Amino acid sequence: MRLILLFCLVLPLLAQGERRNPLPIPDIAGYSTLKCDFHMHTVFSDGVVWPETRVAEAWRDGLDCLAITDHDDYHPHKETVSTDLSKPHAIAAPLARRLGLVLVPGIEITKGDLHVNALFVTDFNATAGKPLLESLREAKRQNAFTFWNHPGWKGRLDWYPEIDEAHRQGLLDGVEVVNFGKLEPQTLGWIGPKNLTILSNTDIHELVEIPAGQHRESITLVFARSRDLDGIREALKQRRTLAWLRDELWGQPNLLRPLADSLLSARRADKLVIFRNRGSIPLSLQVGQETVFVHANAETRIELPQGPKKVEVLNFHLTAGGNLSFTAEW
């Protein structure tokens, strides 16, 4: 019965007449802003959908890039579905090309309770059956980008000795601070000191179901020089990413500030200030003594504040602590 259910879910959502939510986010100077999900599963490991369905969902949800990252050492459907992890990428690639999405080749290196995604792999099956460090060395031989998945998923959140050794050997590039709609706050303290790329992904196994008027909860924003595999790889390596969870962002000020500038404009009209939000991320602002909410793709008017023109973006969080703030002009 379960296999019947599995294969009832393999048809792309496009066949159901789904429409794309464009989810516009402005570019910043020198870079395209790409909406990405780098962690998801199919029937080729422990997911319940066909690879093309993941592509169709990503297109519907306004993403620009996705990675199917099935487990290298966990295949509960192996009696029915191949354990060759090159197959999900090969199946998904034609639809991704047709829809204009960037499909990153990836796997989830799964060694006990420690899971690390490897993106841009060239041999999907080379890490199967190998210990964690050997698998990560193999991924690096393929010039992969690696990040630690859901660090606290077993209840204990710690910088484990195996992770520390992988990081010391240069085998770990990033960490997933948001997984499946949950932020692990402790991970934010690792981003700067350990020079890690910040990521936010769904780790979806079932169908992606989004209530009307909402968007995919967990998204990684990538600021890339080009909208292709090379551009995304370079951006990830250079740590040009932000973690987006519902209506909140986390990251470094060198990216949060230009994104805020591209989203928000303010102009004076007599005794009013008119704030305009040019994107799909709502903005919660502290302007003087007043809290101002500027809805996505909308305007908000307030009386001209007295005193310093300081603005704090309450939903743009710095990994080192606190929120983004700046002096406005109007």
Tell me the pLDDT tens digit for each residue of 37-86: 999 999 999 999 999 999 999 999 999 999 999 999 999 999 999 999 99
pLDDT of residue 16: 62
Are the CB atoms for 120 and 104 separated by under 8 Å? yes
Question: What global pTM score does this model have?
Answer: 0.95
Q: Say which CATH number the domain at 287 has.
A: 2.60.40.10
The band of 5, judged by pLDDT with boundaries at 50, 70 and 90, is: very low
Q: What is the mean pLDDT of residues 110-127?
A: 98
Beta bridge partners of residue 287, listed in sequence order: 290, 311
pLDDT of residue 3: 46
Beta bridge partners of residue 175, listed in sequence order: 148, 198
pLDDT at 172 over 70: yes
Give me the residue label for tokens 């969870």.
245
Number of C-beta neighbours around residue 154 at 10 A: 10
Counts for the chain of helices (H) and strands (E), in that order? 8, 18
Of the two residues 320 and 13, the one the predictor is more confident about is 320
pLDDT of residue 246: 97
251 in a domain, yes or no?
no
Number of C-beta neighbours around residue 2 at 10 A: 10
pLDDT of residue 307: 73
**Does 281 lie in the same domain as 154?**
no
**Does 291 lie in the same domain as 196?**
no
Domain region containing 188: 2-246
Give me the residue label for tokens 């080379």.
126
User: DSSP assignment of 70-93, as one string?
Assistant: -BSS--TTTTTS---THHHHHHHH
Q: Which amino acid is at 225?
A: R
Are the CB atoms for 235 and 222 separated by under 8 Å? yes
**Pair type for strands 102-111 and 65-68:** parallel
Strands annotated E in the chain: 32-37, 65-68, 102-111, 114-119, 145-148, 174-179, 182-183, 197-201, 218-224, 241-245, 248-251, 264-269, 272-277, 283-287, 290-294, 299-303, 310-318, 323-327
pLDDT of residue 7: 46
Alpha-carbon dihedral angle through residues 74, 75, 76, 78, given to the nearest 10 degrees:
-160
- CA–CA distance, 117 with 192 (Å, rounded to integer): 20
* Count of domains observed in the chain: 2
190 in a domain, yes or no?
yes
pLDDT of residue 306: 79
**Does 261 lie in the same domain as 241?**
no
**Does 180 lie in the same domain as 143?**
yes
Q: What is the pLDDT of residues 16-40, one digit of tens each?
A: 667 999 999 999 999 999 999 999 9
The DSSP secondary-structure symbol of 204 reads: B
**Does 46 lie in the same domain as 133?**
yes
252 in a domain, yes or no?
no
**Does 304 lie in the same domain as 193?**
no
**Does 274 lie in the same domain as 139?**
no
**Does 291 lie in the same domain as 176?**
no
